[in-house]
């Protein structure tokens, strides 16, 4: 199993342009050293070491990948390519999971949760064209009106992000439009879940909780079918690559330029690999070989 080695963070940071969470303090990693730095380093490296560089390849998209607007990046993701994150980011994710669990518990106590067949599992969504599998956060039932079924997503967010969110609006279509401007990835993910043929839940909500003071914003949402078609079309563009035998990475999209001043490419954590692969795409084995030259 490929794992992130304890010293891997700095090289990943160099590749992606990110900074190590503890920088050069890792030099003081000896348990015999003074102060608490050895414990910081030990805990950080434990979190970093747990992350794989590659996951098993899939032949389907995850619902959470719906917000990725680059088909080449999507195909790398489906191949199993993974970029480790810093220990600090891992702790942020851990807190996010705890926020989700706490809100799920409250919704259960409020009696609005429709449980999946297995109570410890989330409801699954499935598409065949393009092939997508995902798991929604919560399927709820509105206790008023007509017991309407609602698709809910729970997101934790830092104070800076929370303050930049739009106001809640009574019209769910306005909420979709406003959130699409601020958090397009989340709305794309919710839209894919919402349109899944096996559930078809055109209405729902997105709950944001501010991580340090637990303020909440809850947006009622109604699916925008035009947006859903747009997302599905984009994912269909990548289907021929993820179903090919051997599996292929897609070419660099015409509207992307990873070697120029392309803002999306600049922020892309796969850029270090993307620029080392042939522009026209290549096979899974070749992607693994090129990546191993850089990250092994």
The size of the interface with ligand SF4 (CB under 6 A), counted in residues, is 12
Concatenate the DSSP letters of all residues of 226-286 into one string.
HHHHHHHHHHHHHHHHHSSSS-EEPPPPTT--TTTT-HHHHH-TTHHHHTTS-TT-EEHHH
Is there a cis peptide before residue 51, judged by omega within 30 degrees of 0? Answer: no
* Interface stretch with ligand SF4, choices 32-40, 124-132, 137-145, 250-258 (CB under 6 A): 250-258
Nearer to ligand SF4, 26 or 72 (CB): 72
- Decide: 192 and 125 in contact? Cβ < 8 Å: yes
Nearer to ligand SF4, 232 or 252 (CB): 252
- Decide: 103 and 59 in contact? Cβ < 8 Å: no
Contact with ligand SF4 (CB under 6 A): which of 140, 165, 201, 274? Answer: 274
Is 268 an interacting residue with respect to ligand SF4 (CB under 6 A)? yes
- Decide: 269 and 83 in contact? Cβ < 8 Å: yes
Nearer to ligand SF4, 123 or 270 (CB): 270
Sheet with 61-62, side-by-side order of all strands: 61-62, 131-135, 124-128
Q: Comparing C-alpha atoms, which of 166, 162, 169, 152 is closest to residue 215?
A: 162
Contact with ligand SF4 (CB under 6 A): which of 22, 72, 223, 295? Answer: 72
Nearer to ligand SF4, 176 or 268 (CB): 268
Nearer to ligand SF4, 70 or 113 (CB): 70
Is 265 an interacting residue with respect to ligand SF4 (CB under 6 A)? yes
* Interface stretch with ligand SF4, choices 113-121, 225-233, 257-265, 283-291 (CB under 6 A): 257-265
Is 256 an interacting residue with respect to ligand SF4 (CB under 6 A)? yes
Rounded to the nearest whole angstrom, what is the least distance from the CB of residue 258 to ligand SF4 in the complex? 4
**Contacting positions for ligand SF4 (CB under 6 A):** 70, 72-73, 252, 256, 258, 264-265, 268, 270-271, 274
């Amino acid at each position: 199993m490929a794992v992130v080695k304890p010293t891997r963070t700095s090289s990943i940071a160099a590749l992606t342009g990110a900074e190590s969470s503890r920088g050069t303090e890792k030099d003081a990693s000896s348990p015999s050293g003074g102060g608490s730095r050895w414990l910081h380093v030990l805990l950080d490296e434990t979190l970093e070491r747990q992350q794989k560089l590659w996951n098993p390849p899939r032949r389907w998209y995850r619902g959470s990948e719906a917000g990725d607007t680059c088909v080449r990046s999507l195909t790398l993701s489906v191949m199993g390519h993974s970029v480790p994150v810093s220990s600090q980011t891992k702790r942020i994710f851990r807190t996010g999971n705890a926020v989700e669990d706490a809100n799920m518990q409250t919704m259960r106590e409020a009696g609005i949760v429709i449980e999946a067949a297995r109570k410890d599992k989330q409801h699954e969504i499935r598409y065949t064209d393009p092939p997508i599998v995902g798991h929604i956060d919560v399927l709820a039932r509105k206790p008023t009106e007509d017991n309407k079924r609602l698709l809910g997503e729970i997101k934790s967010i830092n104070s800076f992000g929370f303050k930049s969110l739009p106001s809640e609006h009574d019209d769910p279509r306005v909420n979709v439009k406003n959130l699409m401007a601020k958090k397009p990835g989340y709305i794309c993910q919710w839209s894919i879940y919402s349109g899944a043929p096996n559930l078809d839940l055109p209405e729902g909500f997105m709950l944001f909780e501010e991580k340090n003071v637990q303020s909440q914003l809850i947006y009622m949402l109604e699916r925008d079918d035009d947006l859903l078609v747009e997302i599905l079309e984009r994912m269909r563009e990548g289907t021929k690559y993820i179903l090919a035998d051997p599996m292929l990475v897609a070419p660099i999209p015409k509207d992307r330029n990873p070697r120029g001043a392309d803002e999306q490419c600049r922020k892309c954590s796969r850029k270090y690999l993307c620029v080392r692969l042939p522009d026209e795409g290549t096979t899974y084995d070749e992607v693994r070989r090129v990546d191993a030259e850089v990250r092994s």
